[in-house]
Amino acid sequence: MNYKELGLKVGLEIHFQLEVDRKLFCNCSSAMKEKEPIGIVKRRLHPVASELGEIDVAAQFEYLRNRTFFYEIFKNESCLVEVDEEPPHDTNEEALRVALQIAKLFNCKIPQYIFVMRKTVIDGSNTSGFQRTMIVGFDGYFEFKGRKIPITQICLEEDAAAIDKEDDGNVYYKLNRLGIPLIEIDTGVIEDIEPKEVEEIAYQIFLIASSTRKIRRYIGAIRQDVNVSIKGGERVEIKGVQKLSLISKVIEKEVKRQLELIKKGEKPQKETRVAKEDGSTEFIRPLPGAERMYPETDVKPIKTEDVLKNLEIPEPLNKRIERYEKEYNLSKSLIESLLKTDYFFFFEELVKAFPKIEPSIIANILSATLREIERKEKVEVKLSEESLFEFFDALNKGFVFKEAAYDILKKMNEGKGVEEAVKELGLTPLTEEEILKIIEETKKEITDKKKLIGIVLSKVRGRANISKVIEIIESLS
């Protein structure tokens, strides 16, 4: 399909949860660890008349569904603020700092004073009937394949409550997600583009935002909304694309859907649809009207000057990737797999601390080896940065050898220290005398040098430096 000829226009709204301890407007934990609710409140929402006595289309539509909302309350993770029984507290400063870092990373203009707004939301996902949101940056951009992708706005907002179950007009929401700091990054209209490229753009946005090291990465913590239109069609907003890798499929299917409607002589409608796991979409409501925002008068406006004064702007992750490629000679695929770990930034600390170890070896152990342990042993690898530092320190000192990385790290993941792991595995380093003894003994049986090297190496595996052993064998013959 020729998307350029079809006049494909796409806009992205990307949401990330921030990795901060507290919620945006109260001191509840944002951990989402609790499983069982400690209570439930039952609520109804009502459309609110605007100054013209009109109720916007989207709000009325939801109202007609006549639903009752049940909100599940979780210990430590929801309080009266989430239950809509107490006004919001002051804005979480850490979340605000990260949001401003992100706005800077995308070259945005920063408002001198930020006002928290109430965005009317009447599907029940916010107990208050609105979402608190604030614009932290606007009119920004980032570079992609030699062109500038416009970033129209970056907002810091409250995440909504997650739906738990729904039956017969009764909708159950979990309040633990409500209020978690969420970043929304909106691109402007992107034209002259292929669906696959849109996916790459979304990934770049994710990378740049990740530069702050405060972006949550699990599924559900990142959500995309995609706006799609083609010539003769209409703007359709597709909400809740949970995976980056679904974006191109969602766009392709939406273009196809609009084309089919046009072919039948029907005009596609402006509407909001929701993405399903296979990339297809279903209608949820007409597109909401525009004027749905008014000030949250319960929260003080923020003077950004004071926050920006001491704000450090981290190195953009896409720049860091280029640097890893050049400075440390890492291959693109190795960087890719390192990015999927929690140790992408930590990698460089290790490289700097242990100059005797090849950077690619460090990267390989952090990505491939650890992933292999997870896959083969069917365990979750939860090694702290301290433990990994201990391991690489031992590697650097020649106390352990890279061939034993798998076994030692597996033990360490069970809670053992390096020395303990080495002892238990019988992997204490061999002395030169011991190595010589092994060579001499093996030599008695095998004369072919190639075979000899192979057998000796398997005997000393993980207990000696391989090149050194080969050197010794060579010097003996």
Partner 1 sequence: MDIYDILKEKGISVGDKIRIDSIEGILMPKTEFVESDVIVVKMSNGYNIGIKFKEDTKIELIEKKKEQAPKKSAPKEFDPNKPTISILACGGTIASRVEYKTGAVFPSFSPEELIEAFPEIGDIANIKARKLFDLFSEDMQPEHWKIIAQEVDKEIESGVDGIVLMHGTDTMHYTSGALSFMLQDLPVPVVLVGAQRSSDRGSSDNRINLVSAVLFAAKGDIAEVVVCMHENSNDDYCSIHRGTKVRKMHTSRRDAFKSINASPLARVNYLGKKIEYLTTNFRKRDKSRKLKLDTNINPNVGIFYFHPGSKPEFLREMGKFYEGIVIAATGLGHIGINPGNDKLAKSFLPVVKELIEKGIPIVFAPQTIFGRLNMNVYSTGRILEKVGVIGNLCDWTIETALVKLMFVLGHTKDLNEIRRMMLTNIAGEISERSEYEL
Contact between 285 and partner 1 by CB under 8 A: the answer reads no
Bridging pattern class, strands 181-187 and 170-174: unpaired
* DSSP element (H, E) containing 306: helix 304-308
Part in contact with partner 1 (CB under 8 A); list of ranges 125-133, 168-176, 213-221, 455-463: 125-133
Bridging pattern class, strands 281-286 and 271-275: antiparallel
Q: What is the dihedral of CA 28, 33, 36, 39, to 10 degrees?
A: 10
Residue number with CB closer to partner 1 (141 or 399): 141
**Using CB under 8 A, which of 4, 7, 27, 44 touches partner 1?**
44
Residue number with CB closer to partner 1 (46 or 376): 46
The DSSP output letter for 282 is: E
CB 466 within 8 A of CB 403: yes
Positions in 12-41 near partner 1 (CB under 8 A): 41
Q: What angle do CA 412, 421, 352 make, to 5 degrees?
A: 60
**Using CB under 8 A, which of 249, 285, 292, 463 touches partner 1?**
292
Contact between 468 and partner 1 by CB under 8 A: the answer reads no
CA dist 315 and 171 (Å) reads 43
**Using CB under 8 A, which of 93, 260, 291, 322 touches partner 1?**
291
The DSSP output letter for 38 is: S
Positions in 139-158 near partner 1 (CB under 8 A): 152-153, 155
Give the per-residue SS3 of 134-197: EEEEEEEEEEECCEEEEEEEEEEEECCCEEEEEECCEEEEECCCCCCEEEEEEECCEECCCHHH
**Using CB under 8 A, which of 10, 14, 122, 228 touches partner 1?**
122
Contact between 49 and partner 1 by CB under 8 A: the answer reads yes
**Using CB under 8 A, which of 269, 297, 329, 331 touches partner 1?**
297
**Using CB under 8 A, which of 43, 89, 213, 276 touches partner 1?**
43
Contact between 65 and partner 1 by CB under 8 A: the answer reads no
CA dist 413 and 73 (Å) reads 35
Nearest to 268 by CA among 280, 252, 257, 282: 257
Residue number with CB closer to partner 1 (159 or 186): 186
Part in contact with partner 1 (CB under 8 A); list of ranges 20-28, 298-306, 379-387, 430-438: 298-306
Distance, first Cα to last Cα, the chain:
67
Count Cβ neighbours within 10 Å for each residue of 73-107 and write b for 16 or more, e otherwise.
bbeebbbebbbbeeebbebbeebbbbbbbbbbbbe
What is the smallest separation between the CB atom of 133 and partner 1, expressed in angstroms?
8
What is the smallest separation between the CB atom of 78 and partner 1, expressed in angstroms?
12
What is the smallest separation between the CB atom of 264 and partner 1, expressed in angstroms?
35
Positions in 101-120 near partner 1 (CB under 8 A): 111-115, 117-120
What is the smallest separation between the CB atom of 128 and partner 1, expressed in angstroms?
5
Residue number with CB closer to partner 1 (73 or 404): 73
What is the smallest separation between the CB atom of 407 and partner 1, expressed in angstroms?
56
Binding-site residue total for partner 1 (CB under 8 A)?
52
Helix (H, G, I), strand (E, B) or coil at 413: helix
Contact between 309 and partner 1 by CB under 8 A: the answer reads no
Structure tokens at 210: 């990740």
Any bridge partners for residue 2, and if so which?
Answer: none
Residue number with CB closer to partner 1 (174 or 410): 174
What is the smallest separation between the CB atom of 354 and partner 1, expressed in angstroms?
48
Q: Which amino acid is at 108?
A: C
Contact between 303 and partner 1 by CB under 8 A: the answer reads yes
**Using CB under 8 A, which of 8, 45, 100, 209 touches partner 1?**
45
What is the smallest separation between the CB atom of 159 and partner 1, expressed in angstroms?
17
- Sequence-distant (≥ 6) Cβ neighbours of residue 414 within 8 angstroms: none
List of residues contacting partner 1 (CB under 8 A): 41-54, 59, 80, 83-87, 111-115, 117-120, 122, 127-130, 133-135, 138, 152-153, 155, 290-295, 297, 300-301, 303
